[in-house]
Each structure stands twice: as C-alpha cells, then as structure tokens.
Structure 1
Amino acid sequence: MTTLELLGVSKVYRGGKQAVDGLTLRMGPGLLGLLGPNGAGKSSLMRIAATLTRPTAGQLRYDGEDAVRRPGPLRAALGYLPQDFGVYPNLTAREFLAYLAAAKGVPAGRARTRIGELLELLNLTEAARRPLGAYSGGMLRRVGIAQALLADPKVIIVDEPTAGLDPEERARLRNLLAELAMERVVLLSTHIVSDIESVAGDIAVVAGGRLLRRGTPEELLAAVAGQVWEVLVGTQEVAEVQARHIVSRMVRTPEGVRVRLLSPFRPYEGAVQRMPDLEDAYLATVGAGGVR
C-alpha cells in the first residue's frame, strides 16, 4: 500500500517567517482535502510533499523511506500541479504534453495514447493544436491537470486545482480526483470548501502553518452540532452581529438581512437553529469572521 507521511514538518524562510509549524499528516490511498485560508501554509506544505522544498525540520517519508534524503522514488511516482503553473506559450497543448511526457520518461507510444486520453477527459481535444498562449486561464489549468496525470502517478498532489474552472469543469475534476483516489494517494489543497465537501472522506484544516483539526466530514460537522443559527436582523444591526459572532453567510431580503452564524447558545430572540454544513465547521475551526 502506497503511503506518504509528513512528520513534525516545519518550514522557516529567510527573515524568520514560519510557513509550516510542526505539522504531521499520514496518508494512504484516498483523497485528503487540505483546507485552509490563504496564507495558511498550504502551498509550502505541498511543495515539501512534492520534494521541491526541503523542510527546516521534520521528515517526509514515502513508503516508509526518507524522501528528503532520497527524493527519487517519490518523484518517479508523483503527479504534481502547483498553484502557479507555467507553460511554453508557443507550443500547442499536444506538443507541451509530449515534451513533459518525454521528460517524465513515458515511452513515446504510450505518451501519444495517454495524451489523447487526457485531452478527451479534460475537454481539450478541439483546442489541442492551438498555441497555449491563446488559452484562457481555465484551459491552462486543465492542461496543468493533464500533465500531472501523464505518467499514471501513484501520488497526486494538486494545489488549488479548480482555480479558473467553470462549475461544470470543477465538478468533472472533483469526480476525476475521487475516482483516482480509489487506488492512489491524492492530496488536494484548497481554500474553497465546495472543492472537497462532496469527494473527500478525510479533511485536514490548517491555519498559521498548523494542523487545527483532521477528520471525516461527519466528525467535523459533529464538532459544531447545535451551534449554527439563523436570524433575521435589520441592516443597521449587521455590523454588530459580525463583530460578536462568526458569520458564515448573509442574504438580503425585503424584510432585512438573514444571517447564518455560529454560537454555542441562542444568540438572539427569534434565532432558529440550523443543521451545520462543512463551511460552518471550517469557519468555526479557523475562527474566521465569515462574510465581511
């Protein structure tokens, strides 16, 4: 069984900025959703897991072996999509993927077949012979996903993979990653709850470079059971509500503003208790202020 472990990992950059602080994650086959706000240390952690950045302290282990000292086996098994993915704008998608397949050591015949499969899977076949410089941001993101899957990797690490994708493409990608995770280690980093709520059976919430909570969606929801309320307030009261509570969403109505908030007790007369969703659980964990 393929395993990937980050054990007590820390990363301190020049100037003393600590991006990751003693974080431990153990992963086997399946999809782990890494959820946290921007600046939480997710990308630094992903780069460490992909052997692109050495940790200041701690261990990275692939199938029980030290992947910091010997990164080769993990790199050979890895498909990685960084948050910022660059391309050669004068190449077509097919040419670019063929170039990367050769760099990854995929045999030419297999590469041609695999590239065709991925272009079809990611709805890029019709645009495959156009230069990448003419692609939209969402199309380039799909090319990035394709390159991560070229060599049929055992470990897939994707950082904010749905950035720039339309709703249909986002759903297609989520389903693809869930299918791949049946036999592979998949680590998906995002700050968007909807990216993982329907596909991740295992969620790690991080902030400030630390692991705040890890569990199944059901376990995260149980942690905020009985703490989610909905109340109708006047427009002039919104600022006070936001100052006193974590607000997950607001909807303006003809009668006022309908506010969904977190509180361990009934916050206002007339407040109605609601079933929690994953966004409620996430905001409660990171202590974010919700809608502003």
Structure 2
Amino acid sequence: MTRSIRLIADDYGLAPGVSSAILDLIERGRLTGTSCMTGFPEWEEAAARIRPFRRRAAVGLHLTLTDQIAATGSSSLAPEGKLPGLASLALPVRRGRIEERDIHAELDAQYDRFTEALAGPPDHIDGHQHVHFLPAVRNWLLVRFGGSAHKPALRGAPGLAGLDAATKVAAIATLAAGFNRSMQRAGFNVMTPLCGIYDWRQPQKFTSTLRAAVDTLPEQGLFMCHPGQVDDVLRARDPMQGAREVEFAVLSSEDFGASLERAEMRVMDGKV
C-alpha cells in the first residue's frame, strides 16, 4: 500500500530565485506545498505567481519576526524598522522589553497581507526560525483563531534525529515545549513530528536527512525544506544560500523520484 510524505518548502517570497524554485518543484509534484513570507516588497508579484497553485498545493504563512524588514515599521519589536535576530528576540520578550502588542501587530500585518493577496486564509502556519513556538506567538494564534471554526494547521515540534542534528533538534524541542498539546487542546491540527533538520552549512547532509524521512516519517508528520536558486536578492537577505541549490537539485532529481517509488511512497498533494 502506498504511503504519503508531506514536504513543505519554507521561505516562498524571500527572493525571486527561491520562489521560482519552489514553484518548479510544485509543478513537478515534488512538494506538498510551501509557506510564504509576506513582508517583502515583491510579495504582491510572488502572490500572483502562486495563486493558480492554491487548489493543488498547500499554501501557508511563514511568520517572520527575525532579521528582515518589519511590515509594521518602527516599534519596540523593530526600533529601526528591522526585526531583531532570534537570540535577541526570545529573551527580551520574556523580560518585557518587546511589547507583545507590537509582536501581534506585526503578525496581524503579515497575515492580512497573505489573505488580501491570495483571497483567503492560509492552509497552515509555521514560523521562520521556528518563532511560532514563542509564547507571544502562541498567544497570537489563540487570540486570532480561538473562536474560528476553521483553524489553519500548525507545524509541530520536532521528533527524534540522528547524532548529526541532535543538538539543533534539542534546542528547537526546548523552544517548542508544550506547543503540541496546548494547540491541539485549542482545536488546531498540529503536524508532527517535524523532520528535515540538519546543519545547512553542510549541505551534503540533506540527502541522507531526506532519505531517512522517506523511510520513517509517519503521514501526520512534516518534512520541512528550503530549496531555492541563489540570486542577488537572496544574497542580500539571507545567509542560507548554497544549501538551497543543493536541496533543489536533490528534490528535482530522478534519483529522488526513484527512491519514492522504491519505498512505495508519494508526495502528499493538496491541502494539509
């Protein structure tokens, strides 16, 4: 009996080369869908390109609170209009240096940009650098969707990992502590376990990470990936570059298609 694997590409909208690579993989049937970053000036154009795929692919929102330009401009979250790094985001939030209302305003703006450009809500929600696990973002999810009968699916906590990624997985799992249970209790569908975590500074590890997911990931789980093609916009916005091209090459390859056939698996399509 054929099983399904859910593959979701992060960062649609980050740069034209990233968006083009993701659309290519969706057309090939190699991705279940993607998560969109809506805060960039090119978002309207990127949204127009992915709009025709909404019936065949899961299109979600990739909440972004780190390193990029804030959709809401200057605030306690982004004093100079730029979102902070993850290390300086998490602890100040807990100490009250960043006002939760400013975080919620930024998330509202990103969500509204998604719904306006794509004429409807996201199929799922996750976070750039896993920020959806932060307490302030959990609160936003509960406030924004608490009374809604149709809640977006959420990316859940990571599962077990090999020794290569154990430290990274442990750090993410600590950030995600209690997330699955609390969100499921609130009525959200939580996609778990999360897989696809590896050291992207060693892109050669992606193939083995993907192979392990094909062999072991349950259907309720999710494999996140970051395929792309490097362009000048990406170079200016994000340090993850070479690994994106490796991931794109692997996911688009005949070898990957053959590995799915051997494992009697298919890439899940449609809504999550």
From the two aligned structures, give the one with the greater helix fraction: 2
Pairwise same-fold verdict (TM > 0.5): no
From the two aligned structures, give the one with the greater strand fraction: 1
- Give the TM-score taking structure 2 as reference length: 0.31
Structure showing greater relative contact order (alpha-carbon pairs closer than 8 Å, 6 or more residues apart)? 2
Q: Please identify the structure whose Cα radius of gyration is greater.
A: 1
- Give the TM-score taking structure 1 as reference length: 0.30
